[in-house]
Amino acid sequence: MAEGIKLAIVGATGAVGQEMLKVLEERNFPVGELICLADPREAGTRLKFKGEEHIVAAATPEAFKAADIALLAVGSDISQMIAPDIVAQNCVVIDNSYAFRMDPEVPLIVPEVNADDIDWHKGIIANPNCSTIIMVVAVNPLHQAASIKRILVSTYQAVSGAGKAGLDELDQHIHAAINGVEPILSVFQHPIAFNVIPHIDVFEDNAYTREEMKMVWETQKIMHAPELRIAATAVRIPVYRSHSESIYIETEKALSPQEARQILADAPGVIVQDDPLHNTYPMPLFSSNRDEVFVGRIRRDISSENGLAMWVAADQIRKGAATNAIQIAEIVSAKNLY
Amino acid sequence: MAEGIKLAIVGATGAVGQEMLKVLEERNFPVGELICLADPREAGTRLKFKGEEHIVAAATPEAFKAADIALLAVGSDISQMIAPDIVAQNCVVIDNSYAFRMDPEVPLIVPEVNADDIDWHKGIIANPNCSTIIMVVAVNPLHQAASIKRILVSTYQAVSGAGKAGLDELDQHIHAAINGVEPILSVFQHPIAFNVIPHIDVFEDNAYTREEMKMVWETQKIMHAPELRIAATAVRIPVYRSHSESIYIETEKALSPQEARQILADAPGVIVQDDPLHNTYPMPLFSSNRDEVFVGRIRRDISSENGLAMWVAADQIRKGAATNAIQIAEIVSAKNLY
């Protein structure tokens, strides 16, 4: 332990990978050795960490021999392919993709909610979907207090959910709209500048997108609440990096907005921003580059008996991805679970 | 009738006023005489209608002596002040503001829903809130078929809801964000470029905004459904002129998505855009400059027994304001109710 963790980051040149480097540095994670890996085409890229330059290497199987923990910030197909080999080399995988999240042998972790599930990992730990992480940090404390029966959520998701390519595409589409030229569609199905696209990830047979179903399946798993009923509408909007969510919950026990506000004020990882008369509520622009989940607009759902409405925003790249993964790594490290 | 309606437009230089001129021309409204009025500071402005130039006059009480119908596209305070005087001159007022909407003596009209309420007008007819119009056109046909008990809605509202000033402010904020200068806040509480503001109109005592409560009160009145339970979250997003809405409904009778799609395909003023496998669903960019309400993403609400989820988009300035007002004027004219 004294010498620190030998940490590999796969996908180090991507939006989440680069954010991981920042978060590791900010949180002073006990890095013994840092191994930056990526697609062979990215090999040779230089990245800065704690003032030192690191040269990105190709993510070959041998690269993990020296690593204790590998943070995977790559697509599901790549994770699926490389994770078992990494685990076979006695390196714990914290995977940011969808590949293993619903595997009953793999814990799916949001540290503020189910940190103890890390204890039973068998080599792979999954980092949840960004919209799901943000939602469960905000609703789990209320579930503990009053038992949530049902959640109806509509999201307002930043383009960073589509990685660096998504950020670049919003830039290009904004310039195209202003200058009257054609937007180039590569990651989005339609122009995203001054538009809204109610379509994230592929459509499932039930007419929900996979993004929407992730918010159902993953929330039930993280909160240990298989009976919790959830419906989601996931929407891409022209915002850079923070997701917002309009959430309606129905609880078993009555909970007043004031009680909910108090519970959330005491909850880990949550900042209550709920002073509407001073125009204070969560907004993506002001929750970007922050690690907390911001909650506000807490009020009775006037259409139901035991219902609350609330508005949540948080940085998709940080708490929705990089920060959550590193919080998991911190626990793996502190508990010697590697 | 043969000579046409003597029509006054008050607020003719505003975003809604100018759109009214376009819509009157497109729909070939039987205009006998057109009287363009506005704030005295705007007097003298030249506007085009059917190829002819009209000079805007100050909206003095005398200006309405010659008018049969006055379309008011001004703020509530102005409407409140001038409407009774206009009515006293035997001119029917169709008011776009909030001033008279909840007055039990004033019909609140969405022609696709409650056109017959125009019959009992006493001089003033109110045009509803834009988000409300868009929602009721989409949900009323389903209410007729299966009796809606509850609606939970989250909106994605264009800046045009704040008029020409809102459109200009999004422009300025986008340029400010790109060029790294300070955004100038005048109509919005916070920067709107690359941001989302969960705050439209003032806050009521119950912690809902007035915009949100309009969607409750006005929907109940238009649909003649005082028992219908509704909760709304109204959110401003960086889109120019179409509002979108994520709507969850619960019905008394079961209704399959396929039945709902068929009912809406046959409903007046609705276009069903619901072919997700071909990336077809309503979007603000493609519903702008259109008069219809676009409905898609129709699916079972998997969190409830008799629930449906849907996604709606429509042009706020047109169906949400100008077009709806002119549809009312068409009925007043056709039925000789002036």
The total of other beta-carbon atoms located within 10 Å of residue A186's CB is: 11
Classify residue B179 as exposed, middle or buried by CB count within 10 Å of its CB (0-12, 13-18, 19+): exposed
CB contact under 8 A, B239 and A196: yes
User: Using the beta-carbon criterion (under 8 Å), do B303 and A152 form an inter-chain contact?
Assistant: yes
Indicate whether A207 and A268 sit together in one domain.
yes
Report the gap between the CA of B301 and the closest CA in chain A (Å): 6
- Residues A249 and A303 grouped into a single domain: yes
Residue pLDDT, tens place only, B162-205: 999 999 999 999 999 999 999 999 999 999 999 999 999 999 99
Is residue B153 located within the same domain as residue B109? no
Which residues share a beta bridge with A108? A126
Q: Which residue in A91, A121, A130, A173 is the catalytic one?
A: A130
What are all long-range contacts of A12-15, with beta carbons under 8 Å and residues at least 24 apart?
A12/A36, A12/A37, A12/A38, A12/A45, A12/A47, A12/A54, A12/A56, A12/A73, A13/A38, A13/A42, A13/A45, A13/A47, A13/A56, A14/A38, A14/A73, A14/A74, A14/A163, A14/A164, A15/A160, A15/A163, A15/A164, A15/A166, A15/A167, A15/A317
pLDDT at B283 over 70: yes
Catalytic residue among B91, B121, B130, B173: B130
- pLDDT band for position B130 (cuts 50, 70, 90): very high
Contacts of B195 in chain A (CB under 8 A): 239, 283-285
CB atoms within 10 A of CB A61: 11
* CB contact residues (below 8 A), chain A span 251-310, against chain B: 257, 276-277, 279, 281-286, 296-304, 307, 309
Element (DSSP H or E) covering residue B88: helix B76-88
Instruction: Give the pLDDT of residue B1.
Output: 43
Same-domain pairing of A177 and A296 = yes
Tokens for A280, please give them: 């204070």
Are A118 and A164 part of one and the same domain?
A: no
Which of B303, B304, B306 should be substituted to probe chain A, the one whose Cβ sees the most A Cβ atoms within 10 Å? Answer: B303
Q: Does B238 touch chain A (CB under 8 A)?
A: yes
User: Is B91 annotated as catalytic?
Assistant: no
Contact between B34 and B9 (Cβ < 8 Å): yes
Map residue A184 onto helix, strand or coil. Answer: coil
A192 to chain B, any CB pair closer than 8 A? The answer is: no
Confidence at residue B210, expressed as pLDDT on a 0 to 100 scale: 98
pLDDT at B61: 85
Question: Do both A158 and A119 map to the same domain?
Answer: no
Any CB–CB contact under 8 A between B217 and chain A?
no
Domain that residue A255 falls in: 132-315
B201 with B285, same domain?
yes
Domain count, chain A: 2
CB contacts, 8 Å: A315 with chain B: none
Q: Which of A187, A297, A298 to mutate against chain B (most B CBs within 10 Å)?
A: A297
Measured CA to CA, the distance from residue A105 to residue A114 in angstroms comes to 15
User: What is the rounded CA–CA span in Å between residue B70 and residue B86?
Assistant: 8
Q: Smallest Cα–Cα separation from A75: which of A61, A95, A91?
A: A95
User: Rounded to two decimals, what is the model's pTM?
Assistant: 0.97
Instruction: Verify that A99 and A171 share a domain, yes or no.
Output: no
Residues of B in contact with A159 (CB under 8 A): none
Is A237 within 8 Å of B156 when comparing Cβ atoms?
yes
The confidence band for A3, taking pLDDT boundaries of 50, 70 and 90, is confident
- Strand blocks (E) in B50-127: 52-55, 57-58, 69-72, 92-95, 124-126
Contact A244 B285 (CB under 8 A): no
Please give the interface size between A and B, counted as residue pairs whose CB atoms are below 8 Å apart. 169
Q: What is the pLDDT of residues B234-251, one digit of tens each?
A: 999 999 999 999 999 999
Please tell me whether residue A281 adopts helix, strand or coil conformation. Answer: coil
Question: Minimal Cα distance from B194: which residue of A?
Answer: A239
Q: b/e per residue, B84-100, with b = 16+ CB within 10 A?
A: eebbeeebbbbbbbbbb
State the maximum Cα–Cα separation within chain A, in Å, rounded to a whole number: 59
Q: Is B243 a catalytic residue?
A: yes
Determine the average pLDDT of the residues in B140-157. Answer: 98
Pick among A246, A256, A295 to test the B interface (most B CBs inside 10 A): A246
CATH of the domain at A98: 3.40.50.720
Residue B148 corresponds to which tokens in the numbers above? 């809606």
Q: What's the confidence (pLDDT) of residue B272?
A: 98
Give the end-to-end CA distance of chain B in Å, rounded to a whole number. 11
- Residue A127, judged by CB atoms within 10 A of its CB (0-12, 13-18, 19+), counts as buried
A contacts of B156 (beta carbons < 8 Å): 156, 196, 235, 237
Q: Are both B41 and B141 inside the same structural domain?
A: no
What are φ and ψ of residue B278, in 5° steps?
Answer: -110, 25
Do B20 and B84 lie in one domain? The reply is yes
Express each pLDDT in A112-167 by its tens digit: 999 999 999 999 999 999 999 999 999 999 999 999 999 999 999 999 999 999 99
User: Which pair of tokens denotes residue B289?
Assistant: 């400059």
Cβ neighbours for A28, distance < 8 A, ≥ 6 positions apart:
none
Q: Are B166 and B61 contained in the same domain?
A: no
Q: Contact, B282 vs B138, CB < 8 A? A: no
More confident residue, B32 or A1: B32
Q: Tell me what the mean pLDDT of segment B116-130 comes to.
A: 98
Residues A261 and A179 in one domain: yes
